[in-house]
């Protein structure tokens, strides 16, 4: 009897299959249970604020612990603006870095530059925030913001006095934190493109740019969409570095030079020092909003990836 058909061997294989199924299923259920537990605890902690303010909390701008008046609108605005600016800057920069490392850089530079880019992701956010205070903020106040004002000062977004702390410095810090994530994922995607597709395009007379545009970018569109959404999720949830450079001001300003605040920054800055149960519950209410933002971001990422992938295979 062949060894693969022996009863003992078949029994061992079945036990292994069952064990693998149970262990992997338990891991999957544990992840789901953890997410549910976190969501339940956060929602439960916000019940006091929700019972008092309701959905009006989302459209109120005031944040006054003394009077017991709280609202999330300015923090929602700050989160959206800083994250979108960071994404607008980081996306082309990250894709450009990834394309250079996979298509243009000499072989001896690829690993070195790639490692340095990925190292940015390993830098603690508090260190980046400190660098933002000591280096980035003064540089932007003295050089970059006056430069932007001289050319774009007629726009409301660049009309105020340059400031070392504000929405724009926070967006730049978020950009620095987002670039290594999007660039690393994009680089892996570009490296996964079959070489015969690129060689075929070049053999048919396409220039390198035409090959990149028509083959590399087209082939990796689903993954690039996911990478960008992943970077957006990173920007939405960052707290410490943003707290250090955004100015922590409760206001909705069209001018990017003025201070502001975000959901994560407000939670990190005030949770430990909350004076009343209502203020604590309001901060947890902000966490619920941030959690919903993260959930929506992931859902949108899945929808975008599936749609782009569907078009890609048509």
Identify whether residues 117 and 217 lie together within a single domain. yes
| Claim to verify: residue 29 and residue 154 sit in the same structural domain | no
Band of the pLDDT at 259, cuts 50, 70, 90? very high
Yes or no: say if 269 and 80 are a contact pair by the CB < 8 Å rule. Answer: no
pLDDT at 123: 86
Residue 225 — very low, low, confident or very high, per pLDDT cuts 50/70/90? confident
Q: Are residues 34 and 9 in the same domain?
A: yes
- The reply to whether 38 and 140 lie within a common domain is no
136-164 pLDDT, tens digit per residue, is: 999 999 999 999 988 888 888 888 888 89
Taking the whole predicted model, whether its pTM rises above 0.95 is answered as no
Same domain, 160 and 214: yes
Whether residues 20 and 68 share a domain: the answer is no
- Rounded to 5°, the CA angle 132-227-240 comes to 25
* Among the ranges given (33-37, 138-142, 216-220), the one the predictor scored with the smallest mean pLDDT: 216-220
CA distance 1 to 5: 7
75 and 7 in a common domain: no
Q: Quick one: 175 and 280 in the same domain?
A: yes
Can you give the pLDDT at residue 91?
93
176-211 in b/e form (b: 16+ CB < 10 A) is: bbbbbbbbbbbbebbeebeeeebeebeeeebeeeeb
Does residue 50 sit within a domain? Answer: no
What angle, 0 to 180 degrees and rounded to 10, lies between the N-to-C axes of helices 167-191 and 221-237?
Answer: 150
Of 278, 259, 262, 280, residue with least CA distance to 270 = 280
Same domain (yes/no): 72, 174: yes
What span, in angstroms and rounded, lies between the C-alpha atoms of 289 and 271? 15
Q: What domain range includes position 232?
A: 55-313
Residue 158 included in any domain: yes
d(CA 240, CA 189): 30
Give residue 239's pLDDT. 84
Please indicate, yes or no, whether residues 177 and 159 belong to a single structural domain of this protein. yes
> For the chain, how many structural domains are there in total?
2
Same domain, 104 and 222: yes
pLDDT band at residue 236, thresholds of 50, 70 and 90?
Answer: confident
What average pLDDT does range 157-180 have in this prediction? 91
Query: 268-281 pLDDT, tens per residue?
Result: 888 888 889 999 99
Q: CA separation (Å) from 185 to 49, 98, 124, 224, 240?
A: 40, 9, 20, 8, 24
The answer to whether the beta carbons of residues 61 and 252 sit under 8 Å apart is: yes
């Amino acid at each position: 009897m062949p060894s693969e058909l022996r009863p003992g061997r078949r029994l061992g294989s079945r036990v292994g299959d069952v064990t693998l199924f149970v262990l992997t299923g338990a891991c999957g259920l544990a992840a789901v249970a953890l997410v549910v537990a976190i969501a339940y605890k956060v929602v439960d902690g916000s019940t006091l604020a929700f019972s008092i303010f309701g959905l009006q909390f989302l459209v109120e701008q005031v944040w006054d612990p003394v009077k017991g008046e709280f609202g999330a609108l300015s923090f929602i605005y700050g989160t959206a603006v800083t994250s979108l600016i960071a994404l607008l800057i980081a996306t082309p920069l990250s894709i450009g870095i990834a394309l250079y490392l996979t298509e243009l850089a000499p072989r001896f530079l690829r690993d070195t530059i790639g490692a340095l880019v990925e190292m940015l992701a390993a830098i603690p956010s508090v260190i980046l925030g400190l660098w933002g205070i000591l280096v980035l903020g003064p540089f932007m106040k003295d050089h970059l913001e006056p430069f932007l004002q001289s050319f774009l000062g007629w726009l409301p977004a660049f009309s105020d006095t340059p400031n070392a702390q504000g929405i724009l410095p926070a967006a730049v810090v978020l950009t620095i934190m987002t670039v290594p994530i999007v660039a690393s994922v994009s680089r892996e995607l570009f490296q996964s493109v079959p070489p015969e597709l690129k060689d075929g395009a070049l053999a048919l007379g396409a220039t390198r740019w035409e090959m990149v545009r028509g083959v590399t970018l087209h082939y990796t569109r689903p993954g690039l969409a996911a990478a960008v959404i992943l970077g957006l999720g990173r920007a939405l949830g960052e707290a410490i570095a943003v707290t250090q450079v955004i100015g922590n001001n409760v206001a909705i300003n069209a001018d990017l030079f003025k201070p502001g605040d975000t959901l994560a920054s407000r939670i990190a800055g005030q949770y430990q020092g909350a004076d009343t149960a209502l203020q604590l519950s309001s901060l947890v209410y902000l966490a619920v909003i941030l959690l919903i933002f993260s959930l929506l971001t992931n859902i949108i990422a899945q929808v975008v990836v599936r749609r782009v992938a569907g078009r890609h295979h048509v």
